[in-house]
Structure 1
Amino acid sequence: MSDTSGPEGIPAATIVIFRNNPAGGPPEVLMTVRSRNMVFAGGMAVFPGGRVDPADFALGEIVAGDAGLTADEAGHQIAAIRETLEETGLALGLVGEITAQSAAEARAMLEEKGELAPVLEAFGWSLDFDQIVPFARWFPKNENIPRVYDTRFYLANLGTGAVDIEVDATENTHLFWTTAQDALDKAERGEIKLIFPTRRNLERLALFSSFEEARAQAEAIPVKTIVPKVDATSGKPMLTILEDAGYPVTSELLETVARG
């Protein structure tokens, strides 16, 4: 189920942003509801993220060696950092003199320039990949779907989370903090819609009582490319994933799967 042969997917990066729960209990994660006009996952609740741009890979080529990463991986992590600032206004994976005002100004500049490098130079910031934790990689290949994303998922932690967030209204309609289990419960009640990878990742995130627990599991289980497969051996077609990638639920009836 980890076969990655065949057509290449569109490279993408998604980030699961944690914060301490203001009410106590399990940590909260940041989710966004995508605009219904979006081609991919329109109207669905997802984690912030998007495709990796050529400028992300170009910057990755420059910084990869010092960061101990491949240029490809650095490009994906840069995309996760850029998309977070663009979609939420949060400056994660960055170090320097960062305030609410400078983050807002950087976000505006990013929207104008379309790439992260000039923003870093203008504000005197640098990348801090230690804040970004590789978590998963999903590549739901399907010959019948023209736009297939090969998406790397990352974790990051805000700690107290005492920061403002503001939705990017061009791609998303709503930003909200939720525990993983509450998001799953909302989906069961029909309050939000989840595509297959998001549901499986929320089930995995619901296992953790802290960001530290999530980070420990992510570091203990090597990231494997998950390519969901249809298994009809039980009589009813099931969409299945790897059994050893850290996910508590590894199959779902194909007829109930929501796709992007």
Structure 2
Amino acid sequence: MSGTAIPSSAQETLPEGAIPAATLVIMRPAPDSGPDEILMVKRSTNMAFAAGAVVFPGGRVDPDDYVVAQQQAPDVDPADGAARVAALRETLEETGLAVGWPALGERDLDDVRRALLSGTLLSDILAARGDRIALDSFVPFARWCPNFKEARTFDTRFYAVAAPPHSHELTVEAAEHSHIFWASASRTLAMADAGEVSVIFPTRRNLERLAHAPDFDRFSAHSCQFPVELVTPWIEERDGRSFLCIPDHLGYPVTSEPFDRVRRG
């Protein structure tokens, strides 16, 4: 991580005290012609946030991500561009999948991943290789900032992308994750309902949304119909019971859940 400060223009868009982050929903056709499969990772049980939960790849936006965004996509909003870079970088670090990086072949992928994990800046790697990254291949569809007092507050931008072709086995970065798998949104929800995996509130709501547009093309078209607005869930009392709620105009088929059933972080 660079010591470079986050640009003030990007800081102004952040909710107070929130950590900027990004996550990537990577979709590929299922072998049985069913709904697209989505790449999921299970967080290690020793993590401070969402320990043991199944999530989409992603993580914090680093200062160097703003540098890369300015170099590679200077016309994009700085916070949006940096989040796209973070989604690309974190996915490569966490899973070994190079998304949005067409010039990075499988022969060089392991070396680049090791360099990133050892602290080499992505901007330096791109400059040395002379590569361009395809940030415009990421489809923005959500931005969440749950403010749960018992968990860290992240301002997370969500993007969807079609999985690139690859023949190598994907592996998790063991310091943060314990397992990696492909499954449709509906299958992951069924696993959660059966107690086989754990999902936090934002992941569940987004899986439900993905299940209603079950391939990348249809989900991209669906996403374009709704604005990307900051989602900060709130609690409502209904008939003596507390519900955690989100807005009903952003494309989510389920917009509330009993608070006592919610996993928040």
Q: State TM-score, norm by structure 1.
A: 0.92
Cα distance in 2 for partners of 1:146, 1:27 equals 31
Query: How do 1:1-260 residues align onto structure 2 when only pairs under 5 Å count?
Result: 7-65=16-74, 68-96=75-103, 98-142=104-148, 144-145=149-150, 147-158=152-163, 162-260=167-265
Which portions of structure 1, spanning 4 or more consecutive aligned residues, are displaced by more than 4 angstroms?
Answer: 159-163
Higher mean C-alpha deviation, range 231-240 or range 177-186: 231-240
Contact map agreement 2:42 2:53 (CA 8 A) in 1: yes
Deviation readout 1:63-88 (Å, 9 max, x if unpaired): 332xx311111111100010011001
Runs of at least 5 residues in structure 1 that lack an aligned partner in the other structure: none
1:115 CA displacement: 2.6
Count of residues in Structure 1 that have an aligned counterpart in Structure 2: 253
The Cα RMSD (Å) is 1.7
Q: State TM-score, norm by structure 2.
A: 0.90
Cα distance in 2 for partners of 1:6, 1:74 equals 18
Runs of at least 5 residues in structure 2 that lack an aligned partner in the other structure: 1-12
Deviation readout 1:140-175 (Å, 9 max, x if unpaired): 013x23621110111011166655311111100000
Contact map agreement 1:19 1:160 (CA 8 A) in 2: no
Q: Alignment identity in percent?
A: 42
Contact map agreement 1:20 1:159 (CA 8 A) in 2: no
1:127 CA displacement: 1.4
DSSP 3-state at the match of 1:113: coil
Contact map agreement 1:56 1:79 (CA 8 A) in 2: yes
Q: In the alignment, residue 114 of structure 2 is paired with which amino acid? A: A
Cα distance in 2 for partners of 1:38, 1:72 equals 26
